[in-house]
Amino acid sequence: MELWILIGGLVILIAFGVFRFIKANKVLTTLTEDEFRQGYRKAQLIDVREPKEFDGGHILGARNIPLSQMRNRLVEIRKDKPVYFYCQNGTRSSRAALMLDKKGYQDLNQLKGGFKKWTGKIKVKK
């Protein structure tokens, strides 16, 4: 009996993860580094990593709005301009996009592979 409860819980957890993945792919455009470079200067470039990660190196011109603070800082993000997100590998930027989609934001984009795949200029806090 306990095994069936455990298996049922695991199935529900996996189904929820698959649902979020599919939903994120519908509201978020994943861009290659070249595509990302073409548009991020005309958009709102947001690094959703934590401040320590941001200070360790970030894409030139990015603002740091960590996913953990996103809900409280939505007023800093305009709805009328494209949003270009990135995090370390893409997980947090997907979650940020889902959050913004619920609030009516559109034109949400993320860097494929995240910051760890970025080969362009970066800025490091001294």
Backbone angles phi, psi at 88, to 5 degrees: -70, -45
Asked if residue 125 has pLDDT above 90, the reply is no
Q: Where are the alpha helices (DSSP H) in the chain?
A: 2-27, 33-39, 51-55, 91-102
Question: Can you tell me the distance from the alpha carbon of 41 to that of 22, in angstroms, rounded to the nearest whole number?
Answer: 28
Banded model confidence at residue 18, pLDDT cuts 50, 70, 90: low
Domain boundaries, the chain: 2-123
- The percent of residues in the chain predicted with pLDDT above 70, rounded, is 90
Banded model confidence at residue 14, pLDDT cuts 50, 70, 90: confident
What is 2-123's CATH topology?
Answer: Oxidized Rhodanese; domain 1 (3.40.250)
Question: 23: exposed, middle or buried (C-beta count within 10 Å: 0-12, 13-18, 19+)?
Answer: middle
pLDDT digit string (tens) for 108-123?
999 999 999 999 889 8
Question: Can you tell me the distance from the alpha carbon of 23 to that of 38, in angstroms, rounded to the nearest whole number?
Answer: 25
Banded model confidence at residue 16, pLDDT cuts 50, 70, 90: low
| From 58-62, 89-93, 114-118, the region with the lowest mean pLDDT | 89-93
Question: Can you tell me the distance from the alpha carbon of 56 to that of 112, in angstroms, rounded to the nearest whole number?
Answer: 20
Q: For 74, which DSSP code?
A: G
